[in-house]
Structure 1
Amino acid sequence: MRATVRPLRGADLLRGTDRLRTLVYPEYPEAHEPRRHAAVWDWLARHPLAAEMHRWVAVAENGEVVGHLAAVPQHYRILGTRVVAHTPADFQILPGYGFYALSLMRRFFGVAENCVCVDQVAEAIAIEERMGAEKAGRLHYAAKGLDFSRPTRVPAPLRPAMKVPTLGLRAVDRALGAAFGRGPAVEPLFGFGGGSGKLFDGLSEEVSAEVPCAVEKDAAFLKWRYGPGSPPNPVTVLGAVEGGDLLGYAVLWVNEEGGDGYLLDLTTRPRRRDAARSLLREAVRFFARAGAYIVRYRFAESPTSPRPEDLRRLGFFFREGRRHTMLVRFADPDLHVTALDVANWSYSAGDGEATFWAGRPVGSRNGSARMG
């Protein structure tokens, strides 16, 4: 079966891409909601680097869209150097047209001088490696059960704990939280702009100066990433504050069903483990109050993140099979060598493309004052 790869332009190809999504992911309700995905692409089009975003489709001889891939740009700091790297996004191909997955990825690497990929799908990882990206390592996947009244959704590692009532577990959580002792005060933050914008800018600069590899997350980026119009909005933002200084922040989101709590980002000043512990403890308490049954957190261990042993002390467990792989390719050899070790990265799930699609559908309630 033959197809041609071309830039995605025009209403017909957009409609064809919406139909492709329903064929590739028939079991997912959100795949049948084109307005939801249109809203994500409208949001991506407001990114400061939107002019450097690209989308391609594979089109069969009968005009059917049988494949899709996008290249989403982002600013990174590698060894203090500001660079733009692209991430492959929304990669889809119909069975029978697998050859054109390579053709789509060739288009991607033809425009992406630098790339950062975070993926879990073995087939996609194999293609990315074939095109020149190299594995830097794997992100941690940690989860914590909060409410076992819904046993069908409890992961296998937690089933032995089903004998413990949920209220008892929350009492245990309070004890575990106290085990960290007192740390910096944590309080809700109302957005990333206004007077707090300089605090986020300063934190981003400090992280970039001391951590070899990081997403550039100044106030403008964070407002775009989590503010009005973004897929997860509204989110809750917690800040660790000491003497008027921002030591770190956490971005929390509960999905529309109210069951899954996501720790999208937790970033502190380098080596402020006390701030990471305080934020982690208060994040767990927030999700418990919100009625989430589980907390999910993907991250690279770094001087700006919690340590795995701190997560375990709060009752998190780690799942090897749910970890994502980071792959990189940078044109500058020195930058590439540095980026090729995940231990050099400050990186959370919210920094990457995988979480762009996990938002509320268009038309759902999002009028919260928690973001501004």
Structure 2
Amino acid sequence: MSEAVSARRPSSTIEIRLGTEADRPQILARMEEVFGSTPARRVESQWDWRWQRDPRLPAPGYRGVVATWEGQVIANLATIPAGLQIGGAPAEAWWFVDVLVHWGLVRRALRATVAARRAGGGAAGPDLSQGLAMALFDHPAAGPIQLGKHVAAQLISIGSRRGFEPLGDTGSRRRRISTSYPLGRLLGRHLGAGLAALVDPMLGPHPRPRLPVQVHDGPFDARFDALWERLQAAYPAICRRDAALLDWRYRQPPDLDCTVLTLAGADGLRGYCVVNAFEQPASGRRRGRRRGRILDLLTAPEDAPARTALLAAALATLRRQRVERAECFFCGAELGRLLTTLGFVPKVDRQGQPSVLWARHLPAVARGLYATQGDGDGG
């Protein structure tokens, strides 16, 4: 820390508070220092879309919890509104999408705090007995109901002692789709595609949709509003999915190109599915790959034929887009079984643990929460 910053030191106490738009420069700086320039640039490119235009926000602007010391942001918990409906009624809940702790600054802050208290001049400060990260979650601004996916193992071990619980029959599944992309890069696109046509059937089932699934181009329209109105109370708990939210989530992101598949019914939409294909860049010795995600899927809970048709169409779409491997997040035992029949297997982390949905303070009546890959940060 420079002498100029030290000279205007207001206090040696760590403060935890609601994050605001004014914290943006420091949050991005800490992210670059901790995670590197590429993730920081991605967050910066998404900032206005995520925290200015999200229709679920009570007011535009960054929403999260920050820890500060000496006027510096030393940790932050980024959150986005869930738009949660429990039994068809709105309930305040927040997805946590990023947890960042700058350990270099935190160690300095803790040493200064201890020294100030020993000297008799330090304020009490927040309770850090469970660590700074959990202190962020314990702040009222983190929300009464907290939801998260792809939670780090260290945070799970602490959070499970502080009220976070894994929801059963949830998790990430994945499966191989096509070898066209890697074979095309090795042998040339045309020869690779020909060989892939022979190899791909061995990767797993490639079902054809038995119902007329169509591609929907353009904005989400009133049919999606009508489907949401019809189904929002059909699930014990579900996150908002009206046309305005879907348009913001899948049509407006600066770095997302989606294909929307729809299935018509007698009185409007019977269901829809959203898929995305993207290039996963090379990292170290690992070459780049073509990946896919099934981001969203909505039908009536009991409409298994519609779900099956939409998922079959999603797999066919991703195969045409030369995706090597696809991922899908599911909630519910029936959907999990359907994904298994379609060749999906559980996705696990480096420790062999499955990636499930974690919740804190979620009412018992909402334990059947329905969420997809596109909910939360999309991971």
Distance 1:337 1:285 in 2: 38
Name the residue aligned to 1:361: none
Name the residue aligned to 1:183: 210
Distance 2:89 2:262 in 1: 27
Name the residue aligned to 1:254: 277
Q: Which amino acid aligns with 1:290?
A: Q
Cα displacement (A) at 1:120: 2.2
- Could you tell me which of 206, 214, 221 is aligned with 2:245? 221
How do residues 97-136 of structure 1 correspond to structure 2 at under 5 angstroms? 97=106, 99-107=131-139, 109-110=140-141, 112-136=143-167
- Could you tell me which of 324, 327, 341 is aligned with 1:293? 324
Deviations along 1:13-34, whole A, 9 cap, x unmatched?
43322222123224xx62242x
Distance 2:327 2:48 in 1: 27
The alignment partner of 2:96 has SS state of strand
Q: Which amino acid aligns with 1:51?
A: P
Q: Is 1:75 aligned to 2:83, yes or no? A: yes
Name the residue aligned to 1:204: 228
Q: Judging changes above 3 Å, is the alpha-carbon distance between structure 1 residues 9 and 141 closer, same or farther for their aligned structure 2 residues?
A: closer
Cα displacement (A) at 1:191: 3.6
Greater C-alpha Rg: 2
The Cα RMSD (Å) is 3.0
Q: Which amino acid aligns with 1:263?
A: I
Distance 1:82 1:273 in 2: 27
Distance 2:254 2:99 in 1: 18
**1:136 and 1:328 in contact (8 A); partners too:** no
Q: Structure 2 length normalisation: TM-score?
A: 0.73
**1:207 and 1:214 in contact (8 A); partners too:** no
Deviations along 1:107-152, whole A, 9 cap, x unmatched?
2x3551333333421233344445544433362221121234649x
How do residues 342-357 of structure 1 correspond to structure 2 at under 5 angstroms? 344-355=368-379
Q: Structure 1 unaligned segments of length 5 or more: list them.
A: 152-164, 331-335, 356-372
Name the residue aligned to 1:49: 56
**2:296 and 2:374 in contact (8 A); partners too:** yes
Name the residue aligned to 2:127: none
Q: Judging changes above 3 Å, is the alpha-carbon distance between structure 1 residues 24 and 327 closer, same or farther for their aligned structure 2 residues?
A: same
Name the residue aligned to 2:261: 238
**1:199 and 1:246 in contact (8 A); partners too:** yes
Q: Judging changes above 3 Å, is the alpha-carbon distance between structure 1 residues 217 and 90 closer, same or farther for their aligned structure 2 residues?
A: same
Cα displacement (A) at 1:213: 0.9
Q: Which amino acid aligns with 2:338?
A: D
Q: Which amino acid aligns with 1:103?
A: A
Q: Is 1:268 aligned to 2:277, yes or no? A: no
Residue-pair matches, total: 317
Q: Which amino acid aligns with 1:168?
A: L
Distance 2:20 2:173 in 1: 40
Q: Judging changes above 3 Å, is the alpha-carbon distance between structure 1 residues 39 and 270 closer, same or farther for their aligned structure 2 residues?
A: same
Q: Is 1:312 aligned to 2:335, yes or no? A: no
Name the residue aligned to 1:90: 98
Name the residue aligned to 2:34: 24
The alignment partner of 1:249 has SS state of strand
Q: Is 1:59 aligned to 2:68, yes or no? A: yes
Name the residue aligned to 1:40: 46
Aligned sequence identity (%): 24
Distance 2:255 2:95 in 1: 19
Distance 2:243 2:300 in 1: 15
Distance 2:344 2:21 in 1: 47
Cα displacement (A) at 1:177: 1.1
Cα displacement (A) at 1:262: 0.7
Distance 1:226 1:21 in 2: 25
